[in-house]
Structure 1
Amino acid sequence: MRESLSHQAVKGVMWSAVERFSVQGIQFVLSIIIARLVLPSEYGLIAMLGIFLAIAQTFVDSGFSNALIQKKDRTEVDYSTVFYFNIFIALVVYGMLFISAPYISSFYREPELTTVTRWAGLNVVLNGFSIVQRAKLTIRVDFKTQAKASLMAVIVSGLIGVLLAYRGYGVWALVFQTLSSSLLNTLLLWMFARWLPLLCFSWESFKSLFSFGSKLLLSGLLHTIYINLYSLVIGRRYSAMDVGFYNRASQFSGFPSTNIVGIITRAIYPLQCEMQDDDERLNTSFIQYLRMSCYIIFPLMTVLGVLAEPLVRLLLTDKWFLSSELLSILCFAYMWYPVMVINNQILNVKGRSDYFLKAEIIKKVVAIAILCATLPFGVRVLCWGIVLYNFFDMGIIIYYSRKVISTGYREQARNIVPLFMLSTVMGALIYMSRQFLLDSLLCQLIVGCMVAFVSYVLFGFLFQVREFQRLLVSLKKFR
């Protein structure tokens, strides 16, 4: 069984990576093209809606997806119950968005947002129809099928977005790109998953799943509100252009960390749930995936942070230049994302969503205090506040995770600090290489990436980093 789960983990991570990076990679390229065709203020309009759309989507899922995956004896009745509940909530939430649209527009003093909100909100309904299909595929560790659906959807919707942006539709290019992506992805998941709900709804099943999922819902709401709160307060206190700069920096900095950590955690979550009663194996896998995630994320965020200015100026043109400094700061914040997420996930694996919720409440009280303290000093200081919050986040979540596994502060620090030091040295080498190439942005990028790659491989061999060897072995196993 151990070999079987190990093989499943490797295959799951690899296909999850294929889905994320094929989809996100294409989406990333298309977003750069669209960003060159629209104004930062037009991007800002969509970012202003982020908190409302994200909260709506969190309500639709309600934590039921994780509850289905975590439950060992799930039935078709469970799946059908979740499906009908998701659709009902999606329609209710969209109705609330539709009615609230004029008030959202008035809050930001942007008249166009009324119509934009009502159209963009349809994504919530479309996504509600595919949550169970995606959960079933995840339980089967079938990320290959999810990759097919996501890839086809993002290519078609991306081309639609680029065409509309080229023809001067501005913010509407972004709205219809996301709508077409949600619609196509949902249709394809229905085709590929080959699952239809039963004509039944079980209150017993609902109560069982909701007892676990409701705490995740509350935790998810707190986290979603916090993540999107910055776009809201920046848009209210400053301008749509400032929101555009912040949002673009946040998306760039979050791209490597959230996607790679998402790849790993999504693939190992159903497998860790299978070993939730074996503490020794669970603790071993926790350390293994914590180190592996940090070994990958630390250097990537270091490279992105050091090379932020030439990257932004080359890809997005000089009109986005002001977002490069914000990007460098946020890269340091997102560097610690794997530590937070993997500690969070272990609480779900052990079924302790109560600890998850308690930790989230404490973290968000701290987060709001930091936000209020930094808000008067501008967007740059707000970003440094996010860095500070991430250290508090790690401290709080580790306090709760050590209640369910034997790995606490000292053990986790012992495993990740050496990896951080290697990345710091690599970052210093990249920074020094830039000083000799100040006249050429392209050369700064190329030489900086070459220095990063060579030092990454060299350090892996010299210091015999076991994660480096595991990456090589995992790549060989993936067929």
Structure 2
Amino acid sequence: MSIKEQATKSVFWSAIERFSVQGIQFILTIIIARILSPDDYGLIAMLGIFLALSQVLIDSGFAFALVQKQKRTETDYNTAFYFNAFGSLFIYIILYLLAPYIANFFEEPQLTIITRVLGINLIIMSLGIVQQAKLTIALDFKHQAMASLIAVIISGGIGLWMAYSGYGVWTLVFQSIANNFLRVCFLWVFSRWLPCWKFSYQSFSSLFRFGSRLMLTGLLHELYSNLYSLIIGKFFSASDLGYYNRSYTLAQFPSANIANVIVRAVYPIQCRYQDDMEQLRSMFMKYMRISCYVIFPFMVTLFVLAEPFVLILLTEKWLPAVSFIKILSLAFVWDPIMKINNNILSVKGRTDYALKAEVIKKVVAVILLVVSVPFGVTIMCFSLVLYAVADMVIIIYFSRKVINIGYCVQFGGLLPVVFLNIVMGVVMYGITCFPLSVFAKLLIPLVVGWSLYLFLSWLFKMQEWSIFLSLIRRK
């Protein structure tokens, strides 16, 4: 199978998993959010930083290390499995003991039991890390998609029943546990790999040497990503955190999912050709262009139509989230550029560069956060936009060292896409200025804007349009 065929098949099934699963989760989120209160989401968001950091420590970059390693052995797989499993148990015990202190910090007594129950997810997820890595190495995204899809459908049904039955915040807790448990069970079935007792210090050292830098990078990233929730939860109300958390999730949804599809699918293929610089450079620019071509119009749509979107889908009680969604969409629009640049550092084994970049970025991030906190949640969201710009500048500086594609080439290649999106956004905004009903303000700009985007792509024979069509035709 050629590189193009491998990439196309991987992207296709990765996209199926990402968009079918995330699409269903998105619909479930909309339905459940109409039933639950912003306070319920705020309580779960308060625990985000503790669970996210714990998960990074448990994985320790071993999943990426297994995929990146060229000559893997059964000992490598078993070493990673037992490290993840026992590590998760150790970290869960710590989290269990810290639960009362977390509850006291946020002045929310019920967080003690919520932390202890939701923390079970850490143990469950650790048991599927190696199985997923094996499927990724085999470019088997089809079975990963099936595992995720079945899990989200069943757990979604559980969540809906609990929400309508009045279980409140526990709806989110048990929906999450059910989803992770079912997904891990199916990963075991589809990977057809069972651990045996093999643990090698030499294997551990090899995996940890590569993975530790990714772990530190991940810790810094998750610490910063959840720091806003931590601070908002501490100094503002649970409702404010609920509005911010849902806005963050919605604004991140298009960019994070599409970019992750491309990065996740292409990573194992790029690793196979990590010594072929010409091939890597070609793939790098191609997938950056196609990801931005697809992501940018989603973010423009979200920015322009945030208000009718919230009113129709989430109801008026979520209206305060509109301004947050608009601002955060400006931050997440640049996600594909950052992720694809960061990914190439892992492909080339330069996790030292990734770590250095992350340290510099987070120093900038903390400064922006500290300055913005006294001015309220809205200004804190604006600081995320400034951070996104700084993130791009810093990560491209380091990726240029390994692939020799700098600012001018990357941004210059995206100018046609940016122009199309500006035209689309202006037209959509113009339509919303007319005195229309809420439904019309959502539907008419949506149809006209996207039709114009596709028409201009065809008219100007956009390279990204041709690539996009070729990917579809191959499937």
TM-score, normalised to structure 2, is 0.99
Report the equivalent of 2:210: 212
Report the equivalent of 2:441: 444
Structure 1: runs of 5+ lacking an equivalent = none
Structure 1 residues 14-163: aligned runs within 5 Å: 14-163=12-161
> SS of 1:110's equivalent?
coil
CA drift of 1:137 comes to 0.6
Q: d(CA) in 2 for partners of 1:305 and 1:75?
A: 48
Report the equivalent of 1:460: 457
Conservation of the 8 A alpha-carbon contact between 2:255 and 2:333: yes
Structure 1 residues 5-20: aligned runs within 5 Å: 5-20=3-18
Q: d(CA) in 2 for partners of 1:417 and 1:249?
A: 28
Write out per-residue CA displacement over residues 131-185 of structure 1, whole angstroms, 9 at most, x where no aligned residue: 0010111111111101111111001111111111111110001100001111111
1:358 aligns with 2:356: yes
CA drift of 1:442 comes to 1.1
Could you tell me which of 439, 458, 469 is aligned with 2:466?
Answer: 469
CA drift of 1:199 comes to 1.4
> SS of 1:442's equivalent?
helix
Could you tell me which of 311, 329, 332 is aligned with 1:313?
Answer: 311
Structure 1 residues 311-350: aligned runs within 5 Å: 311-350=309-348
Q: d(CA) in 2 for partners of 1:97 and 1:315?
A: 36
Q: d(CA) in 1 for partners of 2:324 and 2:49?
A: 20
Could you tell me which of 300, 313, 318 is aligned with 1:302?
Answer: 300
CA drift of 1:434 comes to 1.0
CA drift of 1:405 comes to 0.7
CA drift of 1:5 comes to 1.5
Q: d(CA) in 2 for partners of 1:425 and 1:93?
A: 50
Report the equivalent of 1:267: 265
Conservation of the 8 A alpha-carbon contact between 2:255 and 2:336: yes
Amino acid at match of 1:462: L
> SS of 1:404's equivalent?
helix
Q: Give aligned pairs, total.
A: 475
Q: d(CA) in 2 for partners of 1:306 and 1:4?
A: 41
CA drift of 1:473 comes to 1.3
Q: d(CA) in 1 for partners of 2:251 and 2:244?
A: 10
Q: Structure 1 vs Structure 2: percent identity of aligned residues?
A: 53
CA drift of 1:452 comes to 2.1
CA drift of 1:439 comes to 3.9
Amino acid at match of 1:467: E
Conservation of the 8 A alpha-carbon contact between 2:121 and 2:180: yes
Q: Which moved more, 1:458-467 or 1:264-273?
A: 458-467
Conservation of the 8 A alpha-carbon contact between 2:424 and 2:450: no
Q: d(CA) in 1 for partners of 2:14 and 2:281?
A: 23
Could you tell me which of 362, 371, 374 is aligned with 2:372?
Answer: 374
Q: d(CA) in 2 for partners of 1:392 and 1:444?
A: 34
CA drift of 1:417 comes to 2.7
Amino acid at match of 1:99: L
Report the equivalent of 1:384: 382
Structure 1 residues 268-287: aligned runs within 5 Å: 268-287=266-285
Amino acid at match of 1:55: L
Write out per-residue CA displacement over residues 277-302 of structure 1, whole angstroms, 9 at most, x where no aligned residue: 01111111111111111111111100
Amino acid at match of 1:318: E
CA drift of 1:75 comes to 1.2
Amino acid at match of 1:107: F
Q: d(CA) in 1 for partners of 2:211 and 2:6?
A: 26
Write out per-residue CA displacement over residues 377-407 of structure 1, whole angstroms, 9 at most, x where no aligned residue: 1111111100000000000011100000110
Report the equivalent of 1:397: 395
Q: d(CA) in 2 for partners of 1:292 and 1:422?
A: 14
CA drift of 1:421 comes to 2.1
> SS of 1:402's equivalent?
helix
Q: d(CA) in 1 for partners of 2:184 and 2:318?
A: 33
Amino acid at match of 1:405: I
Q: d(CA) in 2 for partners of 1:227 and 1:344?
A: 16
Write out per-residue CA displacement over residues 328-356 of structure 1, whole angstroms, 9 at most, x where no aligned residue: 11111000000100000000000000000
